[in-house]
Every structure is written in structure tokens, then in C-alpha cells.
């Protein structure tokens, strides 16, 4: 599925514990992100924030807004 992404994508990654996760599940997923961003140049991490996934919109909306602005600026630049 990631092979089909042809536009810039920015992820804001929550680093807090996730409700319902067991053990180090979330940390293993986060560790795999470096390989994903290395293989897919359109996918980048816009920010890593301290919130968990349930609170990211409430607590870290500035990081999300910045990621949106970054992608929008790329679009205005004609990619």
C-alpha cells in the first residue's frame, strides 16, 4: 500500500503509552518508522510528540498544524 503514495505525507508520531497496547508493541512500531521513511521518500516524520494516540489532537495540535503547513508549502512550490 505504501508503494502507491505519490504525494508528500507527514506523520506526527505519539510517543506516549497507548491504551490497549501490550508490552512494547507501540515502541516496536515506532522503531520500524526509520526503515519506512528511508524506503519511501514521500513519507516523513513531521514531529514526535509526548502525547499518546488518544490525546495527540488535544495536546499536540501545534505539531499537527505545522506538519500540515509543511506539506501545503511543498504543494505551493510545485513539488
What is the per-residue pLDDT across 35-60, written as a single tens digit (0 to 9) for each?
999 999 999 999 999 888 888 999 99
Q: In this predicted model, what pLDDT tens digit does every residue of 65-79 receive, in sequence order?
A: 999 999 999 977 755
2-6, 14-18, 28-32, 46-50: lowest mean pLDDT where?
14-18
**DSSP secondary structure, 18-77, as one string:** -TT--TTHHHHHHHHHHHHHHH-TTEEEEEEESS-TTTHHHH-HHHHHHHHHHHHHHHHT
Amino acid at each position: 500500500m505504501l508503494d502507491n503514495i505519490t504525494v508528500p505525507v507527514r506523520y506526527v508520531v505519539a510517543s506516549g503509552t497507548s491504551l490497549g497496547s501490550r508490552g512494547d508493541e507501540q515502541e516496536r512500531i515506532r522503531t520500524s518508522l526509520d526503515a519506512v521513511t528511508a524506503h519511501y521518500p514521500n513519507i516523513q516524520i513531521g514531529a514526535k510528540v509526548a502525547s499518546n494516540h488518544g490525546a495527540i489532537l488535544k495536546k499536540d495540535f501545534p505539531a499537527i498544524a505545522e506538519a500540515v503547513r509543511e506539506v501545503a508549502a511543498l504543494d505551493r512550490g510545485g513539488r
